[in-house]
Amino acid sequence: MPDIRLPAEAKFKNELQALAAHDDKPRPPGWALSPRAVETYILGSAKPVGGVAISPKYVGDKGLVQVCIATLASDRALMLAGEPGTAKSWLSEHLSAAISGTSALIVQGTAGTSEDHLKYSWNYALLLAKGPTPEALVPSPVLRAMRAGKFARFEEVTRTSPEIQDTLISLLSEKQISIPELGEVVSAQRGFNLIATANTRDRGVNEMSAALKRRFNFVTVPVVEDLEQEIQIVTRREAELRNDYQVGVPPPAELSRMLLTLFQELRQGVTKDGQTKVRTPNAVLSTAEAISVLFNSSILAEQFGGGAVTAKELAASLMGAVVKEQEGDVKALREYMETVAKERPGAWKELYTASKKLLRG
């Protein structure tokens, strides 16, 4: 059966191969592409490369992408920080795929992340049978990246304990992992680096120490404020999801624009014309959430509606994105519908009517 989700290096294999074949710029040691070609892969190209169209993977500030690439060519690790749903992991994956040829060397940071996840563990059956041997060693993604001169990825650093963060300081400083059981010290090969992510909403969970912060160059991935840009991101990604999952129907452009306008106005606490202040919910109204709402609406319309996305499907999907577990979010959305959506014509009024029943009480 086909994979639900292909990694970037597999999904965009043709683009990466075309860029590599026509890349005549200098490449840092261990890099599959030059920094300029990596930029083209991330931001896309208006002209095909070797007959292959290069699609944009990240729609945003060109300078931000350039700083990320330059950091990864230096001795500093890269920290992508920002609000949830701002494409930090997405950008991390594509940078790794373009530079190292793989995005699979990843550690997911949680409260249960242990030192084994950063260094190594053992196959205990082999360990008991043969003792500490190279065959019994189970290398972490970071150790594998160091040996191969590839990038490792560390998601949600601030979700891990201070002890794990201290281990990370040593790895980034020394670029080595000691395996005393084997009498071996593994030194990172040229091309090794680390891309980490951290949500600003997690600040205070396990705040990074000053020593750890010094090992990173921080790049803040912003929330998309430009309406046209966010519409472009959401509609493209939603179409990709429909194609990948083979489900759903294309939503009308009018509804996509209405959804993104609603998201931006709730995030900013004021309508686009600056005339009406609205209450901001605690829920994360990210670009990723907007993609989810639109995709869910397209499935509802195809499977349980009339075959076309309407305000009814949009309202039903919107509840799960805005109204989480806090009563204040319900009040914020209800107030927005009464003071903003109700006063606007067409699809806005239909959205108000459809959401009124769902927000009752």
Residue 285 in this model has a pLDDT that exceeds 90: no
* Per-residue pLDDT at 152: 97
Q: What secondary structure does DSSP assign to 218-269, as a single string?
A: EEE-PPP--HHHHHHHHHHHHHHHHHHHT---PPPHHHHHHHHHHHHHHHHT
Percent of the chain whose pLDDT exceeds 90:
83
**Cβ atoms of 247 and 4 closer than 8 Å:** no
Residue type, 280: T
Contact call for residues 120 and 140 (beta carbons, < 8 A) = yes
Q: Angle at CA 112, nearest 5°, toward 106 and 118?
A: 40
Instruction: Provide mean pLDDT across the span 278-297.
Output: 92
Please check whether residue 333 is in contact with residue 350, taking contact to mean a CB–CB distance below 8 angstroms.
no
Residues 6+ apart with CB under 8 A from 327: none
Q: What is the pLDDT averaged over residues 200-208?
A: 73
Confidence of residue 296 (pLDDT cuts 50, 70, 90): very high
pLDDT at residue number 322: 78
* pLDDT at residue 350, as a whole number: 94
Q: In the 8-state DSSP scheme, what is residue 351?
A: H
pLDDT of residue 357: 79
What are phi and psi for residue 170, nearest 5 degrees?
-65, -40
Please list the residues that pair with 198 across neighbouring strands: 81
Average pLDDT score over residue span 55-75: 95
361 against 199, higher pLDDT: 199
Residues 256/242, Cβ–Cβ less than 8 Å: no
Q: Is the pLDDT of residue 3 over 70?
A: yes
Give the percent of the chain with pLDDT over 70: 97
Quick check: 204 pLDDT over 70?
no
What's the whole-number mean pLDDT along residues 208-225? 92
Verdict on whether the full-model pTM lies above 0.95? no
Q: Find where tokens 């921080």 sit.
A: 218
Is the pLDDT reported for residue 193 higher than 70? yes
Identify any residues that bridge with 195 across adjacent strands, giving them in sequence order: 78, 153
**DSSP H helical ranges for the chain:** 8-11, 13-21, 35-43, 62-72, 88-100, 115-118, 124-130, 141-148, 162-174, 210-213, 227-245, 253-268, 287-304, 311-322, 327-339, 347-358
Q: Dig out the tokens for 195 from the structure.
A: 């891309």
Q: What tens digit of pLDDT does each residue of 237-260 get?
A: 999 999 989 999 999 999 999 999
Give the pLDDT band of residue 34 (cuts 50, 70, 90).
very high
Q: What is the reported pLDDT for 2?
A: 73
Query: How far from each other are the two terminal CA atoms of the chain, in whole angstroms?
Result: 45
Strands 137-139, 184-187: pairing kind: unpaired
Whole-angstrom CA distances from 55 to 25, 38, 267 are: 21, 12, 29
Report, as an integer, the average pLDDT of 29-57. 96
Q: At 41, list the tokens.
A: 């892969």
Query: What is the pLDDT, as a whole number, of residue 203?
Result: 63
- What count of other Cβ atoms lies within 10 Å of the Cβ of residue 12? 21
pLDDT tens by residue, 86-95:
999 999 999 9
